[in-house]
Amino acid sequence: MKNNIWDVLQEENSALNIRENADEQNCFYQIKTPFQFTLQSCSGIDPDDFVSTLTVSPDKSLYVTENITTHISPAHFHDYYEFLIVLKGSVIQIIEDKEYPYPAGSVCLVNRSISHKEKYTGPAQVIFVGISVDLMTELLNSYARSYYSEENEIKNTLFYKFLKKDTETPGIKAYLDFLPAYNNNEFDHKLHHLVDTMLRAMFEPAFGTTYIIKGLLSSLASYLSSPAYYHTSEIQIHTNSDFILFSRINHLVREQHGVIKRADLVNSLHYSADYINHIINKYAGVSLFNYCLGFRLKRACEMLKNTDLSVNEICEQLKFASRTQFYSFFKDKYKVTPAVYRKG
């Protein structure tokens, strides 16, 4: 048996060619097949815990397990696109020496110019999906041969624009963040189903399996690109990490029109309540309560203008403690009562 997982990944039957750079700071991964799946499970970070790794690609597969000696992968970049999909637990993605937590359900898509590595902080299950430039280009252009007009909608997504730009002008240090929408309670089932279906197809190949895999990869892209299920952000490497967190907070608060609890933000983002409040104050200049209040009042205006709901019903939907509280906040901001606003 080889010394560790990374040695095994360089075997003849691996889908990757791993080359160390002269500076020994980064490894360079070259993909030998159109795509590769690497399913990695970590039982914990104590010395008697282990990491198991299963890699599967066309006509190639490997499985290896090792005790925890280090829970950080080598820093690397590659000549293909890679999805990091967190199925269970959480993982730290270290991108260009900056650490970002990715809880279950979150996804990161890195391009060919990003140096990154992963660090486990506890039990977790992660899948890495590597897609060659040629296959990604084929998938991006497949809408031109599609049978349904709805398939053309992929061209309007940030996912498509990000990858199209990178395939045509590589070298930009950027990646995509996919954060589950607040009401997306099915991401666990959906991601596991897609991964399980792809692995089953790869372990039992038959005529048409190539098209099945391409279809499932397209389904993954479509699912992640849908605003109903995920918020997508393009992150440039020079972007401040605090601003990235503020962007994530903004997505969740805006989606819920400000009706979101502090505990829900903590659970979704894996940051403490105090730090979340600090970030909002840093970029918005107000507390979390007042930041959410702004979105709630804006939503109240929309409901007063566009619906026949009573003021009491609006108060209830937007979770104001009472009609009196709502009137007080509304008049303080807009200088008129809700009733006058509705008439005017």
Neighbours of 215 (CB within 10 A): 16
**pTM metric for this prediction:** 0.76
Contacts of 12 (CB under 8 A, 6+ apart): none
- The gap from C-alpha 75 to its chain's centroid, in whole angstroms, comes to 20
Domain with CATH 2.60.120.280 in the chain: 5-239
**Fold designation for 5-239:** Jelly Rolls (2.60.120)
Contacts of 16 (CB under 8 A, 6+ apart): 9, 10, 29, 30, 31, 32, 36, 55, 130
Query: What tens-digit pLDDT sequence spans the chain (344 residues)?
Result: 344 555 555 555 567 777 765 455 678 888 889 999 999 999 988 888 888 888 899 977 777 777 766 667 788 889 999 999 999 999 999 988 888 889 999 999 999 888 899 999 899 999 999 999 999 999 999 988 889 999 999 999 999 999 999 988 888 888 999 999 888 888 989 999 999 999 999 999 999 999 999 999 999 999 999 999 999 999 888 767 788 788 888 888 988 899 999 988 888 887 888 889 999 998 888 899 999 999 999 999 999 999 999 999 999 999 998 989 999 999 998 999 998 988 87
Q: Is CATH 1.10.486.10 the classification given to domain 259-343? A: no
| Closest to 116 (Cα-Cα) out of 27, 177, 33 | 27
Vertex 52: Cα angle to 191 and 109 (nearest 5): 40
Position 245: which residue type? L
Contacts of 125 (CB under 8 A, 6+ apart): 39, 40, 41, 42, 86, 87, 88, 89
Domain with CATH 1.10.10.60 in the chain: 259-343
Q: What would the two tokens of residue 274 be?
A: 């105090």
